[in-house]
Structure 1
Amino acid sequence: MAQGRAGGNPFAESGELDNPFQDPAVIQHRPSPQYATLDVYNPFESREPSPAYEPPAPTPAPLPPPSAPSSQPSRKLSPTEPKNYGSYSTQASAAAATAELLKKQEELNRKAEELDRRERELQHAALGGAAPRQNNWPPLPSFCPVQPCFFQDISMEIPQEFQKTVSTMYYLWMCSTLALLLNFLACLASFCVETSNGSGFGLSILWVLLFTPCSFVCWYRPMYKAFRSDSSFNFFVFFFIFFVQDVLFVLQAIGIPGWGFSGWISALVVLKTNTAVAVLMLLVALLFTGIAVLGIVMLKRIHSLYRRTGASFQKAQQEFAAGVFSNPAVRTAAANAAAGAAENAFRGP
């Protein structure tokens, strides 16, 4: 019996509990069915190895609907490759839209500045009852017996889009005044060299005393008030008078002898007598020429601005009529005339 046990299965009589392969701990850790390829593999069996385990193929994605257009196959872009965000037309449209937004933003900023300026004007007018606005032009010292006659503030009274034009016209008036003063000195020098030029010297004094205040009152102030209040009547006054002023600028540049202008002709005539005086007169003629050219350019520019403001001759007539009838002196004279006519009608012949 001992030999039988030695030659047979030593676990045959001991039962399942004595079999170490039947231990529940061992059975629990047996390979699962997913490792079936390991169970059928026998390293001692001389046959070809079983095929390797392959994962199941992924489910193909659903096809797009027939109505959707087929797009080009997408590819992964490299980090250095530029991205295409749209066609050229799309980018041009975006750039145009951006430019339009910037233009509207500038217009809004300009309107905001205009509203701020008008608010300052209203505040200044509200304080006018207690503290009237003081005239500040011409800028004279306090001890001078003559006080300023006008109030002028381009940054406060003139709209933002017209301030450059009004400032240029103000500088043009100052240059014309300076040219008249230099013309007086040149005519004085010419009179000292040649006593026969006395008439020109006397007229140069008259031009300085006459043109300096008249040019400011007759064409600069109407232009200033036209841009300040968008007045068609003042625009018409400015165009008429400044056209005459441009003709005078041209005559000053020409310099007809005996007219009191040191222009080109007068300078060439004096060149035969005295070179130094002729050089001074040539400089004055050059200044007169620049003023004449700038005056013609500004007249054309202001006329183009006037056409864009919507002003008209009918509007100018209405403003003139309203201004005349709003004048207290005119109304008093009209009332007196009407009362006299009615009294004469009641008296009869």
Structure 2
Amino acid sequence: MAQSQDGGNPFAEPGELDNPFQDPAVIQHRPSPHYATLDVYNPFETREPPPTYEPPAPASLPPPSAPSQSSRKLSPTEPKNYGSYSTQASAAAATAELLKKQEELNRKAEELDRRERELQHAALGGTATRQNNWPPLPSFCPVQPCFFQDISMEIPQEFQKTVSTMYYLWMCSTLALLLNFFACLASFCVESSNGSGFGLSFLWVLLFTPCSFVCWYRPMYKAFRSDSSFNFFIFFFIFFAQDVLFVLQAIGNPGWGFSGWISAMVLLKTNVAVAVLMMLVALFFTGIAVLGIVMLQRIHSLYRRTGASFQKAQQEFAAGVFSNPAVRTAAANAAAGAAENAFRAP
């Protein structure tokens, strides 16, 4: 096969062009200013050339319309609309109801925890294995605690605050008696005729401190612990007398061993410093008397809501007396002695 003289394609068929780049299919896809890119070129597909690239025309803005009521900007002085009053009130009522239910559930959970602790103590042996913890005395002291007291475990949740307040009232009354002793001692130091009052103040400290705890605080504690009508009646009777005593302590007649208002006024002419100390003690006694009256009324209102009654107190007293082993033993011995005497009689 003869080679072309002009350097053409030796493999070309007769009638074909010597230069393959002069092919019309190639020439029509050459870059030109009418095309944006060459990415549309596909040598295996014959199609019409794409249209000339033209940038899109900017979209025309819609005509301005009047602002709607919802998108309108409010003025600073114009009130905002947060919904109807009825909707807000119903939402607030629903929230308050949920909070109330949550508090009730928390209270019930605490009550269940307390009862669970009581059952655990009972499973370990009940009160026999429970050690007394009051008064809190060191281990080396020859006198050991006489009572067990745990307000958070033994007292129901709704009465714990009341019992704690009464415990603090007893502590304040004991502190007031101690301050009264020191005030009477100071009064005796500046006025020798006040010796009887100083002696009585020492007696009141030794007498009223344990008796008040045993006679009215412990019955109140046991009444709330076991809902005992009998203990409630004991508490009301004795604590009423205690409130009368608080008032007498605040008054402070000379010679009674109380640093009340009258004793302080009498000593004001002799020694001002001691009279001021006695006035502070009298103020302390007055606050305790007021708090005692308020707590007596509060506990009485709680007592009326528990459903206690005098008949229930009588039943508890009878059950307690007949369940006492010493009483049963004494009754059995008396019955046996009476029967023996009856048989011996002619």
For residues 110-147 of structure 1, the C-alpha deviation after alignment (integer angstroms, 9 at most, x for no partner) is 11110110100110121126971111111111111111
**Alpha-carbon offset, residue 16 of structure 1:** 35
Q: List, as ranges, runs of 4+ consecutive aligned residues in structure 1 with deviation greater than 6 Å.
A: 1-57, 60-69, 71-86
The alpha-carbon distance between structure 1 residues 343 and 181, as it changes in their structure 2 partners (threshold 3 A), is same
Contact 1:16–1:22 under 8 Å retained in 2? no
SS in structure 1 of the partner of residue 74 of structure 2: coil
Match of 1:199 in 2: 196
**Alpha-carbon offset, residue 345 of structure 1:** 3.3
The alpha-carbon distance between structure 1 residues 34 and 309, as it changes in their structure 2 partners (threshold 3 A), is farther
Distance in 1, matches of 2:180 and 2:302, equals 33
SS in structure 1 of the partner of residue 274 of structure 2: helix
CA RMSD of aligned residues (A): 9.1
Distance in 1, matches of 2:135 and 2:215, equals 16
Further displaced range: 9-18 or 175-184 = 9-18
The alpha-carbon distance between structure 1 residues 15 and 347, as it changes in their structure 2 partners (threshold 3 A), is farther
The alpha-carbon distance between structure 1 residues 201 and 182, as it changes in their structure 2 partners (threshold 3 A), is same
Further displaced range: 117-126 or 247-256 = 117-126
**Alpha-carbon offset, residue 105 of structure 1:** 2.5
**Alpha-carbon offset, residue 47 of structure 1:** 41
Contact 1:41–1:50 under 8 Å retained in 2? no
Match of 1:49 in 2: 49
**Alpha-carbon offset, residue 328 of structure 1:** 0.1
For residues 162-185 of structure 1, the C-alpha deviation after alignment (integer angstroms, 9 at most, x for no partner) is 111111111111111111011111
The alpha-carbon distance between structure 1 residues 41 and 131, as it changes in their structure 2 partners (threshold 3 A), is closer
Distance in 2, matches of 1:39 and 1:128, equals 93
2:99 paired with 1:107? no
Distance in 1, matches of 2:182 and 2:45, equals 131
Contact 1:226–1:232 under 8 Å retained in 2? yes
**Alpha-carbon offset, residue 300 of structure 1:** 0.8
**Alpha-carbon offset, residue 21 of structure 1:** 36
Contact 2:159–2:224 under 8 Å retained in 1? yes
Contact 2:8–2:18 under 8 Å retained in 1? no
**Alpha-carbon offset, residue 98 of structure 1:** 3.5
2:224 paired with 1:252? no
The alpha-carbon distance between structure 1 residues 17 and 156, as it changes in their structure 2 partners (threshold 3 A), is same
Distance in 2, matches of 1:185 and 1:215, equals 20
Match of 1:289 in 2: 286
The alpha-carbon distance between structure 1 residues 19 and 204, as it changes in their structure 2 partners (threshold 3 A), is closer
Match of 1:314 in 2: 311
The alpha-carbon distance between structure 1 residues 22 and 11, as it changes in their structure 2 partners (threshold 3 A), is farther
Mark the runs of 5 or more structure 2 residues left unpaired by the alignment: none
Further displaced range: 44-53 or 102-111 = 44-53
Distance in 1, matches of 2:160 and 2:102, equals 20
The alpha-carbon distance between structure 1 residues 85 and 41, as it changes in their structure 2 partners (threshold 3 A), is farther
Number of aligned residues: 346
**Alpha-carbon offset, residue 266 of structure 1:** 0.1
The alpha-carbon distance between structure 1 residues 62 and 324, as it changes in their structure 2 partners (threshold 3 A), is farther
SS in structure 2 of the partner of residue 33 of structure 1: coil
The alpha-carbon distance between structure 1 residues 5 and 246, as it changes in their structure 2 partners (threshold 3 A), is same
The alpha-carbon distance between structure 1 residues 73 and 193, as it changes in their structure 2 partners (threshold 3 A), is closer
The alpha-carbon distance between structure 1 residues 47 and 299, as it changes in their structure 2 partners (threshold 3 A), is closer
Contact 1:37–1:50 under 8 Å retained in 2? no
The alpha-carbon distance between structure 1 residues 14 and 271, as it changes in their structure 2 partners (threshold 3 A), is same
Contact 1:41–1:49 under 8 Å retained in 2? no
Distance in 1, matches of 2:300 and 2:56, equals 86
Further displaced range: 328-337 or 82-91 = 82-91
**Alpha-carbon offset, residue 344 of structure 1:** 3.1
Distance in 2, matches of 1:308 and 1:284, equals 36
The alpha-carbon distance between structure 1 residues 34 and 342, as it changes in their structure 2 partners (threshold 3 A), is farther
Contact 2:136–2:145 under 8 Å retained in 1? yes
The alpha-carbon distance between structure 1 residues 35 and 85, as it changes in their structure 2 partners (threshold 3 A), is farther
For residues 298-324 of structure 1, the C-alpha deviation after alignment (integer angstroms, 9 at most, x for no partner) is 111111111111111111111111110
Contact 2:111–2:156 under 8 Å retained in 1? yes
Which TM-score applies when normalising by structure 1? 0.74
For residues 321-347 of structure 1, the C-alpha deviation after alignment (integer angstroms, 9 at most, x for no partner) is 111011000011111122222333334
The alpha-carbon distance between structure 1 residues 56 and 232, as it changes in their structure 2 partners (threshold 3 A), is farther
SS in structure 1 of the partner of residue 36 of structure 2: helix
Q: Equivalent residues in 2 for 1:1-349 (5 A)?
A: 88-89=85-86, 91-128=88-125, 132-349=129-346
Which TM-score applies when normalising by structure 2? 0.75
Identity of aligned residues (%): 93
Distance in 1, matches of 2:319 and 2:247, equals 37
**Alpha-carbon offset, residue 48 of structure 1:** 38
**Alpha-carbon offset, residue 12 of structure 1:** 44
Contact 2:243–2:289 under 8 Å retained in 1? yes
Contact 2:12–2:18 under 8 Å retained in 1? no
**Alpha-carbon offset, residue 61 of structure 1:** 34
Further displaced range: 89-98 or 324-333 = 89-98
**Alpha-carbon offset, residue 17 of structure 1:** 34
SS in structure 2 of the partner of residue 317 of structure 1: helix
Distance in 2, matches of 1:290 and 1:145, equals 36
**Alpha-carbon offset, residue 227 of structure 1:** 0.9
**Alpha-carbon offset, residue 89 of structure 1:** 3.7
